[in-house]
A = this chain, B = another copy of it.
Amino acid sequence: MRPEIQALPGSRIREVANAAMGRSDVLAFWFGESDEVTPQPIRDAAVRSLQAGETFYAHNLGLPELRAELAGYVGGLHGGAHGAVGDERIAVTSSGVNALMLAVQMLAGAGDEVVAVVPVWPNLTAQPAILGAHVRCVALRPGADGAWRLDLDELLAALTPRTRVLVVNAPNNPTGWTLTRDEQQALLAHCRRTGTWILADEVYERLSYAGGACAPSFLDIAGPDDRLVVAHSFSKSFLMTGWRLGWLVLPRGHLDAIGKLIEFNTSCAPVFVQRGALAGLAMAETFVPGLVQRLQACRDRLVAGLQALPGVRAAPAPGGMYAFFRIEGQDDSLALAKRLVTEHGLGLAPGVAFGAAGEGWLRWCFASRDPARLDQGLQRLAGALRAMA
């Protein structure tokens, strides 16, 4: 086995989940997934496709009609300064994580330098490592209020002409941190000078609680020839985690290369899955705003509950679906998360799962159909705090 693969960190979230094996009464908030089933019209569309016998290979890049709809969807959200986004910039992928992997394969080879903003979903730093690239991390920092912030000057100083790719996920998993328009402008201008690609994981863009249809996107300000690749997923906004479908927005002229990479990685996404996604897009503007409203209510309820507990530092995330919080005096997040689940039946993700910068923190996914589950979880946390006091 390659040493790079042996050295890849295993999931610390799974390590916590394994520690709870055999306990049937765990309230699990550790995965980045709502507990709501995919909406019926999406499932119905996939069922119809299966019944109609759409069981053959699809085009590498995705169904032409899905790519056209995605171009309209993306252009509708971000067409602003540079006009429509054409489908010659859209490729359908076998999940959001697969979209990111394809982009990394296209951009970062052995020995290349990649800069990543952390803490972050560990897949974003593992992917360049699999390709043999060197990953340098620039850490967000938490304020006394529990909100995480970027030191823009530090990030700009880290991005030099030797930097092939900047990997940035905003709204961020796990912290909820979101790039501002000014920060995006500064990063884009800087990366144009250094020749650095921006790989933007914007899968949480619709889960934005600052008003407006979505969080600021690099697509709002970049031109069609900028070195920008944006990765997207149907998982979060359409409650389609288990479907494994995502897409990439690429600069003009990169579709052939991505088509080849898709061929060599998964060849295509199932047609019946893509039919489900088409049904999702058709209901996007009636469904997504309601989902965001429900998630915002979940966030507010959970964060208020956390803030009311002694020694807990938590801030309402401007985007995403996580509360990332800290308990005073608790610095070993893996040990703490294991203790919470084994002794108190509360399943949270340890901050160290998202890199050393997240150590000491805990991630709580607040995407819950039934907000009472969050209250139950808060009660268990309160009990744990009393027991640990």
The docked-state distance in angstroms from the alpha carbon of A355 to that of B110 is: 26
Q: Is A173 an interface residue (CB 8 A)?
A: no
Taking a contact as CB atoms under 8 Å apart, the answer to whether B57 and A33 are in contact is yes
How many copies of the shown chain assemble into the complex? 2
Taking a contact as CB atoms under 8 Å apart, the answer to whether A265 and B97 are in contact is yes
B-facing mask of A270-291, CB < 8 A → 1, else 0?
1111000000000000000000
- Which partner residue on chain B sits nearest A45 by CB separation? B50
Taking a contact as CB atoms under 8 Å apart, the answer to whether A50 and B47 are in contact is yes
Q: Is A19 an interface residue (CB 8 A)?
A: no
Question: A5-B106, A10-B256, A244-B269 are known contacts. Are A264 and B127 too (CB-CB below 8 A)?
Answer: yes
The docked-state distance in angstroms from the alpha carbon of A121 to that of B240 is: 33
Q: Which of A55, A105, A106, A244 is the most central at the interface, judged by chain B CB atoms within 10 Å of its CB?
A: A55
Closest CB in chain B relative to A70 CB, distance in Å? 19
Q: Which of A6, A94, A240, A268 is the most central at the interface, judged by chain B CB atoms within 10 Å of its CB?
A: A94
- Which partner residue on chain B sits nearest A197 by CB separation? B1
Closest CB in chain B relative to A345 CB, distance in Å? 20
Taking a contact as CB atoms under 8 Å apart, the answer to whether A105 and B5 are in contact is yes
Q: Is A266 an interface residue (CB 8 A)?
A: yes
Q: Is A109 an interface residue (CB 8 A)?
A: yes
Q: Give every chain B residue within 8 A of A10 (Cβ-Cβ).
A: 256, 259-260
Taking a contact as CB atoms under 8 Å apart, the answer to whether B54 and A242 are in contact is yes
Q: Give every chain B residue within 8 A of A270 (Cβ-Cβ).
A: 242-244, 270, 273
Q: Is A24 an interface residue (CB 8 A)?
A: no
Taking a contact as CB atoms under 8 Å apart, the answer to whether B58 and A242 are in contact is yes
Q: Is A308 an interface residue (CB 8 A)?
A: no
Q: Is A241 an interface residue (CB 8 A)?
A: yes
B-facing mask of A100-139, CB < 8 A → 1, else 0?
0100011111110000000000010011001110000000
Taking a contact as CB atoms under 8 Å apart, the answer to whether A33 and B56 are in contact is yes
Residues facing B in A29-88 (CB within 8 A) are 31, 33, 37-38, 43, 46-47, 50-51, 53-58
Closest CB in chain B relative to A352 CB, distance in Å? 16
Q: Give every chain B residue within 8 A of A56 (Cβ-Cβ).
A: 33, 241-242
Q: Give every chain B residue within 8 A of A123 (Cβ-Cβ).
A: 263-264, 267
Closest 9 CB pairs of A and B: A110-B110, A37-B53, A38-B55, A55-B242, A126-B264, A2-B109, A43-B50, A56-B242, A110-B132
